Each structure stands twice: as structure tokens, then as C-alpha cells.
Structure 1
Amino acid sequence: MLKQDAHVHTPFCPHGSLDSFHSYIEKAIKKGFDSITFTEHAPLPPSFQDPTPQKDSAMKQQDLESYLTTLDRLKQEYKGELIVKTGLEVDYIKAYEEETSAFLDCYGPELDDGILSVHFLPAGHDYICLDFDEHAFKELIKIYGHVEGVYQSYYEQIHASILSSLGHYKPKRIGHITLVQKFKQLFPYDMSPRLCEMATLCLEETAKKGMSLDFNTSGLRKTYARSIYLDPWMIDLAKKKKIPLIFGSDAHQAEDVGYAYDQFEDMIRFI
């Protein structure tokens, strides 16, 4: 099996580190990886207003060409040592599907891979970045009335992302499907049977669409999450449904490349 880290960020990430591409790649080589996929946060839809204080959720449109050309160069530089792939983590925002589709039509041909993620939840006439910090999450609880309401909204968006028509270049992998649990140590919640049904439906649709799941270990590094962004029962169901589980460290600094890959190996051993 190809040892790959398929969810890695870069110095083009406004809320990440300034670690160089080379430092990420050298770390991957040192840890024995065969392949690395850089999946920087794609520029947000032009008419969407980033709700984070510093407006730093994603790469700027003006930086995208430089990102792509840098990766083209690195592919050649490390040829024979490490497979370097060009990817993007694309945000699914339900009311902005047309703009997202147009973006993918334009840049999709230049990509080797992609992740489709949900970070923003509707909040009245606005949006809130659900994983920005605990205060943002608390505001979502206030708006939705309870923690379950936030989870329900999240899985509604995940479901919509799977079913969405984003064109030929729509990403084939669903990102961190339990990201809504990032602050579960602060706001404990056991999923109700109804929500488990919603999440199950998401996995069933993932299988039907021939998509894969991001086996995202970054939650293990988060103070209030402390777990992989995939529940054990979801992993079991994914195995039964033959949904590919793709390892991703979601590294935003070079040191985290390949983080907890051993846990991924242990959990997929019997796929």
C-alpha cells in the first residue's frame, strides 16, 4: 500500500505556519512516505464574506497561480524521491455552489486531488466558521438553541456537499466528517439516534457516489477534541461499504506531516 499523507497545508495558508514546502516534503521523506498531497484551502467564492476576524480562512485568489506553479516545480525537483501531488481543500457552502463550480471548472484540470469540506454553518443571514474557536462554536449553540442543533446543521451541510453538482472536477473526498466534534470536551454531546441516522446516510451516499473519506488525525492534536475526525463506528461502516479511507494529517506545520499514521495503519489493517 502506498504510504501517503493526502491532506497537508502550506505556507500559502493564511492561518498556518510559514514552514516551507521543502520542510514539509523533507519531513515526509524522513518519515518514510511515498507520496504527499498539498491541499491548501482554496480561495473562497468571490461573493462570500469570510466570517473570521482576520479573514484568513483560505488562500487568496491572487496567490493561486503561484501555488500551482510552485508545486509544478517541486514535482520535478523531487521526482524519484517522493510523489508530490497538487490539491486543494474546497469549502462547500450551500448557497455558493455556482461560484464553486465555476472555480473548479477553471482550475480543476490543474489538480491531482481534492477534498470537499464544511467549515461554515448558516447563522441567520450570515455564517460562522464552526471550528474557528470555542467562542464561535458557543455562538452557534446560542443560535441553534442547543448542541444537537449545531450537529444537525453540520450533517445537513455534509449531506448536501455529497449530493451537490459541482461539475466534473468536484473533489472526490469528504474532509474531516466529524469536525463538528472539535470542541466536544467543552460541549459534550452524544449523538442521538436521529443524528446517527443522518451521519449514516452521509456515509451511504458517499459510497453510492464513489467518494472517499478523509482519515483525519488532526483532532488528536486539538485540546478539546482529542480524537480522530472519524468515529469508530463510521470506520466500521466505511469498511463494510467499501469506502476508501485516505490518511491525512491536516498538517499546518511541517512537524505534523504524517502525524499518528500508525493509528491509521492499525485501524485499516483488516480492510
Structure 2
Amino acid sequence: MPTDYHNHLEKGTLTLDYLEQFTKQAAQKNIKHFGISEHAYHFYQTKDIVSKPWMEERRYYDMDDYVALFQQAHQKGMDVKMSIEMDYTPGKHQEMADFISRYPFDYVIGSVHWNGDFGIDLAEYRKEWDRRDLHEIYTTYYDQVVTLAQSNLFDIMGHIDLVKIFNYIPKDEAFLLEQYERATDALSQSKTCVEISTAGLRKPVGRMYPEPVLLEMCYKKGIPIVFSSDAHEPAHVGFAYDQAIALAKEVGYSTVMTFEQGNRKEIYF
């Protein structure tokens, strides 16, 4: 019984009709634990947490409308969890905590998408990869993964090794393993789960998040997992889950974490 907790409505509308396209796809894939986690930067209420020109062009939602959408969905009998994907922002822990506490999220995803003003997963910034020091990018990225975990604000770490998205990967294996070790050490001391995300298979890197060796570290340190597709359109819900489940089992996992109204429960998949 897998989960799909990382999905976005941003290519469509905040309407029941569009939301139902996602939930129907989840039902067809036999995904019993399904949630929407819209990007927090779309909402006016997060401007005090993170504000970049790229985001301001895309800040057009109100949280009241978002909450109302899920209330309508639940009244209609739709089993869908309400979440948010927050851009983890160093130095804004109190602001992030205040925002999270104001809304009845079933769970909250924390992700690292930015290195200062460098949007690491955005096509608009892709040329920056050739201008910057690769080891410095990775070190700074995993610095944020560590402090994200230490903040203990988030239920799920989104696509933990997103930094590999454009296939810029250090050749120094010892350096990479060092980053993985410190990230998983921090996560193992927090409440934060790690998602096995099939989204990477649809990206230039062509690989799931996380790498098998990183997922194995998570397993050995007792870090729980969830499955996610990071769907930005209904057809991608549950994308390539056969590969995700096979990877989880190969590493040793047999359970996933589920969430409802802030409570968590581990179940077998």
C-alpha cells in the first residue's frame, strides 16, 4: 500500500475538478495515501519567509482558498491529504514554524531548491553550473539538508539529492559519501522521513532520488520513508512506482510512514 504525498496543482487550478483528476489517478494506481503539497512560495502568506524575483512572478495563491479547497474535497468524501512543500530557508526557522502552525496540514515537506540566489533545479539557472565550483554547490546544499533536519519542522525531506538534477555530480566518491553521511546523521536524529521520489527519472539525471547508496544509509540509520512521484500533472501520479518499490525492498525497507492531521503511522507496503 504505497503513498504519494508530493504532488502539485500549479499547472492547473485550485478547483475540485482539477484536484479530482489527481485523486482518480491515485485510485487507479491503488495508492491509498495521497496528498497535495503545493509550493509554499505560490502563497502570499509566505512572502516574509522567502522572496526572490523568480518567486514573486509566481506568487498568486491565498492560503484561505487552499484550505477551503480541501474542506470542500473532504465534504465530498475525497480522501486527500493537505500539505505544503516549503523551500527551506536558513535563518527563517521561526517564520517557517509560525506559518506551519497556522494551518491544519496533515504533513509538511521541506525541500532545498536554492543556493542563495541560485535556483539549483531551474532551467533558467542551468548555465550557473558551469560557472560555479561543484564541490562548493554540493557542500552548501547538504549544509542546508543538515540544518533542515535539525530544525525538526518537517515531516518529509523532499528529493534529498535534488542537487544532482542536471547530472552535475562530483567524481570524488569519498566527498559524496561524506555529504550523505552528515545528511543522514542529522535526519536520523529528527522526525523527518525521506521520500523515494520517481521524479528524477523524468529529469535530465534520469535517476530516482535518492541514490541507492544514500537510501541504504537511511535504512541503516532507521530513517523512515514515503513514496512520492512529485507529479505536476495528473498522469504522473504514481509514476514508475514499480521501480521505487523494488529499490526500497532491495535496500531492506518493508514499511512506509503515513500521515493524517499531523499524526504518523507506519504501515507495510
Which interval holds the TM-score relative to the shorter structure?
0.7 to 0.9
* 3-state SS of 2:54 partner: coil
The answer to whether the Cα contact below 8 Å between 1:45 and 1:99 also exists between their aligned partners in 2 is no
- Which amino acid counterpart does residue 89 of structure 2 have in structure 1? I
1:130 & 1:101 partners in 2: Cα distance?
Answer: 24
Residue by residue over 1:164-200, the C-alpha shift from the partner in whole angstroms, topping out at 9 and shown as x without a partner, is 26xxxx221111111111101xx35335423421221
Pairs within 5 Å for 1:1-271? 2-10=1-9, 13=10, 16-18=11-13, 20-43=18-41, 44-46=46-48, 48-52=50-54, 55-56=57-58, 60=60, 62-79=61-78, 83-107=79-103, 110-122=104-116, 127-133=117-123, 135-139=124-128, 141-142=130-131, 145-164=132-151, 170-184=153-167, 187-222=168-203, 224-269=204-249, 270-271=252-253
Structure 1: how far apart are the matches of 2:158 and 2:53?
20
Q: Which amino acid aligns with 1:230?
A: P
Superimposed CA distance per residue, residues 211-246 of structure 1 (whole angstroms, 9 cap, x where no aligned partner): 210111101011x11011101101111121221111
Superposed CA RMSD in Å reads 2.1
Give the residue type in structure 2 aligned to 1:37. Answer: G
The one-letter code sitting in structure 2 at the alignment partner of 1:136 is Y
Q: Distance in 2 between matches of 1:266 and 1:258?
A: 14
Is residue 75–residue 85 contact of structure 1 (8 Å, CA) maintained in 2? Answer: no
Q: Take 2:196 and 2:177, find their aligned partners in 1: how far apart are those partners? A: 19
Gaps of 5+ in 2: 254-269
The CA deviation string for residues 23-82 of structure 1, in whole angstroms up to 9 with x for no partner, is 1111111111112111111134426322428732xx54x521111111122123235xxx
Distance 1:250 1:146 in 2: 28
Paired AA for residue 115 in structure 1: I
Contact 1:213 1:246 in 2 (8 A): yes
Residues 188/235 of structure 1: CA separation in 2 closer, same or farther (3 Å cut): closer
Q: How many residues align?
A: 244
Q: 2: CA distance between counterparts of 1:66 and 1:181? A: 34
Structure 1 contact 45–96 (Cα < 8 Å) conserved: no
Structure 1: gaps of 5 or more residues? none
Give the TM-score normalised by structure 2: 0.83
- Partners in 2 of 1:191 and 1:42 — Cα distance? 34
Task: Provide TM-score, normalisation by structure 1.
Answer: 0.83
Distance in 2 (alpha carbons) for counterparts of 1:49 and 1:245: 30
Counterpart Cα distance in 2 of 1:254 and 1:3 = 17
> Aligned partners of 1:4 and 1:48: how far apart in 2?
29
The answer to whether the 8 A contact 1:114-1:173 is kept is yes
Tell me the SS of whatever aligns to 1:93. Answer: coil
- Say if 1:157 and 1:178 are closer, same or farther in 2 by CA, change over 3 A: same
Structure 2 CA distance for aligned equivalents of residues 33 and 146 of structure 1: 41
The CA distance in 1 between the partners of 2:248 and 2:51, in whole Å, is 39
> Which portions of structure 1, spanning 4 or more consecutive aligned residues, are displaced by more than 6 angstroms?
none
Identity value in percent: 26
Are 1:4 and 1:34, in contact at CA under 8 Å, matched by a contact in 2? yes
